[in-house]
Amino acid sequence: MGFKRVHVIVNPASGKDQPILHALNSVFHAAGTDWDIYVTKAGGDAWRLATEAVQAGADAVAVYGGDGTVAEVAAGLLGSEMPLVVLPGGTTNATGRSLGIPVELAEAAQLLSSPNAHVRVMDMLQLAHGYCFGVVAMGIPGDVAVMADREAKDRLGNLAYVVSAIKATGRAPNSNYTITLDGQEIRTHGVICVIANQSAGLMHLEPRVDGADGLLDVAVFRDENLSTVAKAAGNVLLRDENLVPAAHWQGREVTVVSQPAQAIQADGEVLPAGCVTVRIIPGAVRFVVPGDNAG
């Protein structure tokens, strides 16, 4: 696509332990790309650096980090037309995988100069505690995120999620859900409630979730599909597991309250338990993706 001025935002605390400067320099030097690198040190830095990239007139922003860092950078680009490239640097890279981004760093960086790359416009989820792209989930996925903390992910990588899912499955109580969807109240129960923008990470919902339709997908799972959900939440090998919920709705804004309170996660980031409000931001971000994954 021929981006000539690129700001690269790096989270050094991301899940992968790998040298990145040599790989990026090789790709960008060959493409004649003028690039600058900016390193985050604390929460909020990624958002600030993204807004500064817009103000500086960069052609594109690339982000190296986990799903939380990707969402924070994307939030800083809201309201602009700035294209965003995801460089695989997290433990699971759920957002990048859902967009078809190559898992190798150099291949992902080459999207900035590839004539076959395209821009894909995606919706985004807004919460009281920030933003995310894929899934906000109560129940087992929330327990998995709580148990797979930074120390466990540093030590075990993706296996941290497998271990946590096995533990979470053994203690998955039913909860009563009060769901307020676009002003309409729904009362139901289950072991998991998922609010999805796309089939990110390991949560491949059926029917498939469209990340650019301007709608949230809200799904509830009960005991009868607990085994499948637990596997999908914890086993990184199950990329194509279809999860059929007990109930499914769509809307633009939803509040879910669980009683007893269940753990909650948003793309792997732990949120306060028991209650969450999510709204959709249609057409929020312009991702640079491989040519066969344009939308």
The DSSP output letter for 199 is -
On whether both 157 and 244 belong to a single domain, the answer is yes
Looking at the structure, tell me whether residues 150 and 247 fall in a common domain: yes
Predicted confidence at residue 236, as pLDDT, reads 39
pLDDT above 90: residue 268: no
Question: What are the angstrom distances between the C-alpha of 163 and each of 19, 140, 195, 223, 225?
Answer: 28, 12, 24, 20, 20
Domain match, 106 and 172 both: no
CATH number at residue 211: 2.60.200.40
Q: Tell whether the model's pLDDT for residue 124 goes beyond 80.
A: yes
Cα(277)–Cα(257) distance, rounded to whole angstroms?
A: 9
Asked if the structure places residue 125 within a domain, the reply is: no
Residue 127's pLDDT is 96
- Give me the pLDDT at residue 93, please: 82
Give the residue from 85, 115, 145 where a domain finishes: 115
Q: Which residues contact 5 (CB under 8 A, 6 or more apart)?
A: 33, 34, 35, 57, 58, 59, 60
Range of the domain at 234: 130-283
Q: Residue 122 falls within a domain, yes or no?
A: no
Q: What is the pLDDT of residues 5-27, one digit of tens each?
A: 999 999 998 766 678 999 999 99
* Same-domain check for residues 265 and 157: yes
In a domain, 77, yes or no: yes
The H or E element containing residue 118 is: strand 118-127
- End of a domain among 89, 115, 141? 115
- The secondary structure element, H or E, covering residue 164 is helix 159-169
Rounded to 10°, the helix 67-77/45-56 angle is: 40
Q: Are 68 and 164 members of one domain?
A: no
Beta bridge partners of 285: 122
Instruction: Compute the chain's Rg from CA coordinates.
Output: 19
Which tokens in the block code for residue 205?
A: 């919902």
Length of the chain: 295
Please count the structural domains in the chain. 2
**Contact of 243 with 196, CB cutoff 8 Å:** no
* CA–CA dist 159, 148 (Å, integer): 9
Angstrom CA distances, 157 to 91, 134, 234, stand at: 6, 20, 12
> Does the pLDDT of residue 160 top 50, yes or no?
no
Q: What is the mean pLDDT of the chain?
A: 84
Does 110 have pLDDT greater than 50?
yes
- The CATH number of residue 97's host domain is 3.40.50.10330
Least confident of 83-97, 121-135, 138-152: 138-152
In angstroms, the CA 150 to CA 277 distance is 25
Closest CA to 68 of 129, 148, 151, 156: 129
57 and 174 both lie in a single domain? no
| Same domain (yes/no): 59, 183 | no
